[in-house]
Amino acid sequence: MTKTVWVFPGQGSQALNMGMELLEVPCAKAKFSQAEEILGWSVIDICQSNIDTLSRTLYTQPCLYVIESILSDLLLEKGHRPDLVAGHSLGEYTALYTAGVFDWATGLHLIKQRAEIMDNTSGGLMAALLNFDQAQLAQVIKDTPNVVLANDNSPAQVVISGTPEAVKTVMSQVKAKRALPLKVSGAFHSPLMNAAATQFQEVLDTATFKTAVCPVLSNVDPNPEIDADILKARLSQQMTGSVRWREIALQLPENGIGKVIEIGPGNVLTGLVKRTVEGLILVNIRNLPELENYSS
């Protein structure tokens, strides 16, 4: 049987009306109600509001977690099981939940606090670079203070993060097909998030983590791991550390993975994997119809 990894997207994959067909499913409807009690606002209402509201970090992160986790639960109920799990930034929380590292409510409480802290962060800039000169980028980042490689997504796509001046300097000096500033509130996955990370650490310290039922590939360390303490330590580094997605993709064939299932809206992660590794089966489960039609 083909070994499978389940991957979960982060911010940027959100879409209006995502997950609304799940309201037809009783267990999903119960999760939406439970989420409203924890969050103090309705995921259903936010997902049906407007894209600017949905794309605000405060709302995006909990909404994605709720919808991705419901789809994951339904896939597990159908008898499917992943051999590995991974998530991109926020998506790592859904991966950890799917691997049984913490319960659903704990995950949502963590994300609620994470989203609120990150939404209140300001003063930084992030930008995506596509089809760039890798050697030149590495050198310019090395020579430019206050900017780092935040997301190493694929050989042809990265995200840089830092002060606005430093990010703009890199964008002006590196040859790239496209260089796009991102609509985010702060310089995520960079040292500029140190204060936010320290604040969030107090929240993370209160959460109970368990041994994973399947290995997790973490953003800051793409090596498979099930140990609760190690996974928690990795997560504590995530807010300031780089998302090493390209390395996660390269780990998949090394671990015998033949199929990648992206669970959640969009197809960003399967696209990045396709640009990094050849020969893998790529599947997207973005909604209830795709889940119901999926058979391993």
The pLDDT assigned to 270 comes to 98
Q: Do 81 and 173 belong to one domain?
A: no
Whether 226 and 276 map to the same domain: the answer is yes
Contact criterion met (CB below 8 Å) for 218 and 196: no
Write out pLDDT tens, residues 70-82.
999 999 999 999 9
Same structural domain, 132 and 256: no
String of b and e for 119-146 (b: at least 16 CB within 10 Å)? bebeebbbbbbeebeeeebeebbeebeb
Confidence at 290, pLDDT banded by 50, 70, 90: very high
Residues tagged active-site: 89, 189
Q: Is the pLDDT of residue 260 over 80?
A: yes
- Counting Cα atoms < 13 Å in the Cβ hemisphere of 216 gives 32
Buried b (16+ CB within 10 A) or exposed e, 253-292: eeeebebbbbbbbbbbbbbbbeebbeebeebbbbbbeebe
- Considering the domain architecture, whether residues 202 and 65 belong to the same structural domain is answered as yes
Note the pLDDT of residue 17: 96
Q: Is 90 exceeded by the pLDDT of residue 185?
A: no
Q: What is the pLDDT of residue 46?
A: 98
> In 3D, which of 99, 296, 112, 55 has the Cα closest to residue 211?
99
Residues 213 and 144 in one domain: no
Q: Do 25 and 87 share a domain, yes or no?
A: yes
Q: What is the pLDDT of residue 227?
A: 98
Q: What is the mean pLDDT of residues 59-84?
A: 97
Angstrom distance (rounded) from CA 40 to CA 91: 22
Average pLDDT, the chain: 96
CATH number of the structural domain spanning residue 156: 3.30.70.250
Q: Residue 100: which region, alpha, beta or left (left: phi > 0; alpha: psi -120 to 50)?
A: left
Q: Provide the residue range defining the domain that includes 176.
A: 125-181
| pLDDT above 90 (res 1) | no
Q: 20 and 162: one domain?
A: no
CATH code: domain of residue 36:
3.40.366.10
- Regarding whether 265 and 214 lie in a shared domain, the answer is yes
The answer to whether the CB of 159 falls within 8 A of the CB of 151 is: yes
pTM (2 d.p.): 0.96
Here the tokens at position 7 are: 């991957």
Residues 199 and 259 in one domain: yes
pLDDT tens digits, residue range 127-171? Answer: 999 999 999 999 999 999 999 999 999 999 999 999 999 999 999
